[in-house]
Amino acid sequence: MTDSTLYDLLGVGREASAEDIRLAFHTRARQLEKERGNPAAAQQLQRLRQAYQILGDSQRRKQYDASLPAATSAMSAPELSQLWKRVGEAYFQRSERFTPAIDAVRVAVPLALEGENLLILGMDHAHASLMGYLTATITYNEVRQILCELSARTLDFRVIAGTTLHDWQTIRDAEEALRRKRAAPVIPAPASKTEQIESSLPADSAAVHVETHGDRWEELMESIFKQWSALEHRGFALFRARFVLEQVAVVLNLEEMSLLAGVSAEVTQRHVARAIDRIASLSGIDSGAVALEYLRHRANQPNLSAS
């Protein structure tokens, strides 16, 4: 690791709190532990544990920090917050009228500076419907120009659903797992009914090895969160409606797979209800409307309509 630090390995900044470091370690460790039999994952897990042994100990962390070169180009959390506040003020002054994009800039929270030039912004679930306004091409270019002017450096930004470093780490880990999965060789095998259903799930939730169906539902919840974060034009009702339809189909597939695997209908329905609430809270569409859409499609599924 000649060009990186232990902080980079854990995916946190040097200003990270002890709690941020603990969460980052356990999140990444759980992801890597699921990849049993993968030598690269085992090696990375070993390095991760070594990093946590140092950064998780306040005295050893202090000694390690003293050995690092000064981080002259890094920006602290207060500096990022102040910079984004100035960006919001400048964008408001340059706008001819009040728009949802102004509100989107106002509620966005700067979380971290990824590398040298990528600012990670977060939005809570209550304002998730505003994310599309901030990432729309015209708004994005205007805000990015202001960001570069005020920081006197080339900066880009990305918006995620979530307001903590842990939320960002969860998304990063899911993306890294997806990259590793796509890079792994594919070994064809006869597909059972369960596997056929599983194959229709999003790649980042269905193909990651998990031990129980409860874990599969947790993977799906993370996948819904990530799919929303990656959705363009969220500010338009049509795109939000398409998101709901796509995710309802995924929920139905996993519901059928769970029932075929012997999971009780009561337990499965609790998972379904949580997924519907997550879809509704992110899309800004009433949870009752999402539930009705789910029931309408469920009635057309022979294996589910009778249960």
pLDDT number for residue 49: 92
Q: Which domains does the chain have, with CATH numbers?
A: 6-67 (1.10.287.110), 77-163 (3.30.300.180), 188-305 (no CATH)
**More confident position, 261 or 91:** 91
Give the pLDDT confidence of 119-175 residue by residue, as tens digits: 999 988 778 778 778 877 788 888 988 988 888 777 889 888 788 888 888 888 877
How far is Cα 146 from Cα 163, in angstroms, rounded to an integer?
A: 22
Give the pLDDT confidence of 219-237 residue by residue, as tens digits: 888 888 888 887 777 778 8
Give the pLDDT confidence of 29-85 residue by residue, as tens digits: 888 888 777 888 888 889 889 999 999 999 999 998 888 765 444 567 778 889 999
Q: Is the pLDDT of residue 184 over 80?
A: no
DSSP state of 159: E
Q: Whose CA is closest to 29, among 48, 15, 54?
A: 48
Token pair 């990530």 in the structure block, residue: 226
pLDDT number for residue 306: 57
Sheet with 118-123: list strands edge to edge: 109-114, 118-123, 156-161
- Mean of pLDDT values over 236-259: 86
Q: Which residues pair with 156 in a beta bridge?
A: 118
- Mean of pLDDT values over 187-206: 51
Is-contact 208 177, C-beta < 8 A?
yes
Q: What is this structure's pTM?
A: 0.45
Two structure tokens written together for 147: 């960001």
**What is the amino acid identity at position 64?**
Y
pLDDT number for residue 299: 84
Q: Whose CA is closest to 248, among 191, 304, 209?
A: 304
**More confident position, 180 or 188:** 180
Residue ranges of alpha helices (H) inside the chain are 6-10, 18-33, 39-55, 58-67, 77-94, 100-107, 131-135, 137-151, 165-183, 193-198, 203-206, 213-230, 237-260, 265-283, 287-298, 302-305
Q: Which residues pair with 120 in a beta bridge?
A: 112, 158
Is-contact 203 178, C-beta < 8 A?
yes
pLDDT number for residue 196: 53
Tell me what the pLDDT averaged over the chain comes to.
79
Is-contact 25 56, C-beta < 8 A?
yes
C-alpha dihedral (88, 123, 5, 36), degrees to nearest 10 = -160
pLDDT number for residue 209: 36
Which residues, 6+ apart, have CB-to-CB distance to 5 below 8 Å? 14, 68
Phi/psi at 271 (5° precision) = -65, -40
- Mean of pLDDT values over 10-33: 82
How far is Cα 185 from Cα 263, in angstroms, rounded to an integer?
A: 31
Question: 58-62, 98-102, 292-296, 299-303: lowest mean pLDDT where?
Answer: 299-303
Q: Residue 167's Cα: distance from chain center in Å?
A: 6
Give the pLDDT confidence of 261-285 residue by residue, as tens digits: 788 888 888 889 989 988 988 888 8
How far is Cα 194 from Cα 186, in angstroms, rounded to an integer?
A: 18
pLDDT number for residue 191: 53
